[in-house]
Amino acid sequence: DVKVTQSSRYLVKRTGEKVFLECVQDMDHENMFWYRQDPGLGLRLIYFSYDVKMKEKGDIPEGYSVSREKKERFSLILESASTNQTSMYLCASRVEEKLFFGSGTQLSVL
- Contact residues toward other proteins (CB under 8 A) are 33, 35, 40-45, 48, 58, 88, 90, 92, 94, 97, 99, 101, 103-104
Task: Work out how close the CB of 40 gets to other proteins at its nearest, in angstroms, rounded to a whole number.
Answer: 6
CB of 105 to other proteins, least distance (A): 9
Residue whose CB is less far from other proteins, 49 or 75: 49
| Nearest distance from C-beta of residue 14 to other proteins, angstroms | 24
71 Cβ partners below 8 Å, 6+ apart? 28, 29, 30, 51, 52
| 5 backbone dihedrals φ, ψ, rounded to 5° | -115, 125
Q: For other proteins, which is the closer residue by CB, 35 or 64? A: 35
